[in-house]
Amino acid sequence: MNTVELVNLALAGDRDALSSAFNTTMAAKVTDALEIKKVEIASNLLGTEETSDEVTEPTIEVDGSGASVEPATGSTEAE
């Protein structure tokens, strides 16, 4: 039911029909809003947030003197 029909029921003075129509309309709107919020919360719980491309795992580099462990920074620096 749309707003015009609700106003027409109010102008006609049919309180019972207006009350029923208003409650039905509001219930539908609340249900839709809850469904949207439920999808929003579910997407946040599932971790669909953007992730960075930065490498956080340490890398192992071996040079002539032995092995050393250095954190990866994601950048390419000249040695």
Mean pLDDT, all residues of the chain: 77
**Rounded to whole angstroms, how far apart are CA atoms 10 and 4?**
10
Task: For 54-79, write each residue's pLDDT tens digit.
Answer: 656 666 666 655 555 555 555 555 54
Domain ranges of the chain: 1-73
Q: Can you tell me the mean pLDDT for 23-47? A: 91
The pLDDT of residue 17 is: 92
CA 78 from centroid of its chain's CA atoms:
42
Output the CA angle 9-10-13, nearest 5 degrees.
90
* Predicted model pTM: 0.50
**Rounded to whole angstroms, how far apart are CA atoms 46 and 60?**
32
Q: What percent of the chain has pLDDT over 70?
A: 58
- Give the number of other Cβ atoms within 10 Å of residue 61's Cβ: 11
Asked if 23 and 7 count as a contact pair (C-beta separation under 8 A), the reply is no
